[in-house]
Each structure stands twice: as structure tokens, then as C-alpha cells.
């Protein structure tokens, strides 16, 4: 169920889950010095989700994890 929620957020489903993911990602970008302010972090996070870049990274991680199990 959690995986379905994550995939939904990364597929662009609007709602509170997406909002929380974007806020957490924005805070991480600010903490890492990648974004100077939360507003910039939110913009960058939304772009990563909306462009499907974040979903592509997740898929790569899943594929890599599965190949290591085999």
C-alpha cells in the first residue's frame, strides 16, 4: 500500500501526500545547500515530480535492487 502511495505521488497525483513529499524534499534541498529558500526548494521538488525525473530515479532504484537479489 505504501509503495502505491509513493508511486501515485511520483505520477503526479495531487493531494496532501504530494504536498508533504514536496515539503520534505524542499527542506532536504535547503539543508543540503542546493536551494537557498523553501520556495526555491518547493519549485525544484515540484519540477522533479512533474517532469517524472523523481519517478525515473525510483524505477532505477527498484530495478537495481531487484537485480542484486537475483
The terminus-to-terminus CA distance of the chain in angstroms comes to 24
Host domain of residue 10? 2-69
Instruction: Give the closest residue to 44 by CA, choosing from 23, 61, 59, 15.
Output: 23
Under a CB-based contact definition with an 8 Å cutoff, are residues 9 and 45 in contact? no
- Do residues 30 and 36 touch, judged by C-beta distance below 8 A? yes
Amino acid 11: pLDDT = 94
The whole-model pTM stands at 0.84
- What would the pLDDT profile of 10-65 be if each residue is shown by its tens digit? 999 999 999 999 999 999 999 999 999 999 999 999 999 999 999 999 999 999 99
pLDDT category at 70 given cuts 50, 70, 90 is: confident
The total of structural domains in the chain comes to: 1
Amino acid at each position: 500500500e505504501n509503495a502505491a502511495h509513493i508511486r501515485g505521488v511520483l505520477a503526479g497525483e495531487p493531494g496532501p501526500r504530494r504536498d508533504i513529499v514536496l515539503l520534505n524534499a524542499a527542506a532536504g534541498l535547503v539543508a543540503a545547500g542546493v536551494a537557498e529558500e523553501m520556495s526555491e526548494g518547493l519549485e525544484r521538488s515540484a519540477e522533479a515530480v512533474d517532469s517524472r525525473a523523481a519517478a525515473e530515479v525510483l524505477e532505477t532504484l527498484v530495478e537495481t535492487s531487484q537485480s542484486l537479489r537475483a
